[in-house]
Amino acid sequence: MILRSVWTSLSPPTSRQAYQLPAKAHVTFTHLVEFTGTTKESLLQYSEEAHESLHQGFDKTWSKYSSRDVEHPKYREQLVKATLEFNGHHV
């Protein structure tokens, strides 16, 4: 499989780099091979609209929290809080 060979030739991002990845890159590097291997489905049937809508909604929640600067000492803590708040309103 071409995707698997490309994936194995790339190094996965470090945890610090993962926070800086755009969502599409995160999904590609972290979940794509696993998803296609598990489901045996292509991604053609999945729309980008739902993902974009979700991302826009999270941005509204995330904007209430401190700096988006990944070097900020409370960045991870604030990201977790924002994620928990967002998920609490959308589950």
Same domain, 14 and 24: yes
The answer on 32 and 68 residing in a single domain is no
What is the tally of structural domains in the chain? 2
- How much of the chain is in helix, strand and coil states, percent to nearest 5? 65, 0, 35
> Which one-letter amino acid corresponds to residue 22?
P
49-74, pLDDT tens digit by residue? 777 888 888 999 999 987 778 888 88
What's the confidence (pLDDT) of residue 85? Answer: 94
Average per-residue pLDDT in the chain? 76
Q: Kindly report the pTM of this predicted structure.
A: 0.48
Ranges of residues in the chain whose predicted pLDDT is under 50: none
Say if residue 17 is in the same domain as residue 56.
Answer: no
| Residue span of the structural domain in which 67 resides | 47-91
* 51 and 90 share one domain: yes
Same domain, 37 and 59: no
Question: Do 57 and 86 meet the contact criterion of CB atoms below 8 Å apart?
Answer: yes
